[in-house]
Chains A and B, each alone.
Chain A
């Protein structure tokens, strides 16, 4: 049970982290739209 509580705590921290840095959403979206040169080797 203690492990599950740690799991819930991790998820909660994660949600808080995502919420507090939601402005990075557009940045990550930018990564997806602009092809990663390293990945395709150009």
Chain B
């Protein structure tokens, strides 16, 4: 299951980078947090586009429509299976410590601040500090331009990136757990999405091995499919009793 997920993540990453050919640069929002400032991006970051719509004073119905479709189909499964920034964090591994019960709400605060700041400043305020933008936007831009333009903004991005990498190594899926505003949006749909993990109560012996393998550090069985579950399937893999399985529709 794990290798299948990594294969899907790699496939998604390639698909989102087909924009190396300009004709393949689409107006379709990406499934996950992926910076469309990347010179190779073929899709638009849903959160970046949402900010653009707010800054332009337009009702973001197109974006909300896409978010409803993505959320209704996968919920936070987008984070676990498709998001390129999530895949990057998987590469760093990180210690699977338990999720902090209060800090998990930071992502909702981040979401609210980002939207309010965009509305007030009329610019994509969150993108100035987005580590996904740092990795998928600023770094490829620096490489493709040969580092000709090196501004304060780029330096801020590189600093954020270094800090983020450190945090990813210390805590698995740190960004997804505590800070991702897009993850916060998907989390509202998580319990209602068609793609879910099902717990068979009769087979489960409450050994909680599944929770030890969770990269999001979920603490209780009841929180599987909850707002912090990214449906990555590590719990499904680790359960030797077969009490957990994927349920599609």
Contact = CB atoms under 8 A, between A and B. Distances in A.
Interface in A1-42: 3-4, 6-11, 13-22, 24-33, 35-42
B140 to A, nearest CB: 9
Nearest to B139: A40
Interface size class of chain B, counting residues whose CB lies under 8 Å from the partner chain: 35 or more
B124 interface: yes
B62 A25 contact: yes
A21 B66 CA distance: 11
Contacts of A33: 22, 25
How would you classify the secondary structure of chain B's contact residues: helix, strand, loop or mixed? helix
B158 to A, nearest CB: 8
A33 to B, nearest CB: 5
B93 interface: no
Interface of A: 3-4, 6-11, 13-22, 24-33, 35-42
29 contacts: A7-B189, A11-B68, A11-B69, A11-B73, A11-B194, A14-B69, A14-B70, A14-B71, A17-B61, A17-B68, A18-B69, A24-B53, A24-B63, A25-B62, A26-B27, A27-B27, A28-B29, A28-B62, A28-B63, A29-B26, A30-B27, A32-B41, A33-B25, A35-B137, A36-B36, A36-B48, A38-B125, A40-B157, A42-B149
